[in-house]
Structure 1
């Protein structure tokens, strides 16, 4: 049950990452929240299978940290790549 709450928080953190990172016009609004949600779910389920206390502080912190780091990393790399590609296409034109 707590996985639903963790997913909700992770998606909100992904929305915050979309709003905070530069060049937000280069990615869709749902990309980073989706990445954050997937990362949170993978870490939560992995820790559950590893026998970590269900719903404990370690599980919450690790899952939400994975959500924030993955959405920030994907957002920064993808937006920078798209920006460079657009600049190169404009230079050729």
Structure 2
């Protein structure tokens, strides 16, 4: 699983909600979301992107990977897990921060 590396709502919305989006694992299609994202793309309009979010919520179609409290599973001998956890990419750890001990 991967996550977008850009802050624009279009980046996240397009790949998650468009029928051919790369992270649209559930194959949901929500034309109102796509339309609102396309309206917001040229200008960065907060209103258009907010509308896209509202329409996405209405679908009830998204992939819950984990509880919002977040967690990591590791062997007890692996140290530095909490400090190395990349919150914006929930499936990643910064390897340089890990040690055996």
Query: TM-score, normalising length from structure 2?
Result: 0.32
- Structure number with bigger Rg: 2
Query: TM-score, normalising length from structure 1?
Result: 0.34
Higher relative contact order at CA 8 Å, sep ≥6: structure 1 or structure 2?
Answer: 1
Higher helix share: 1
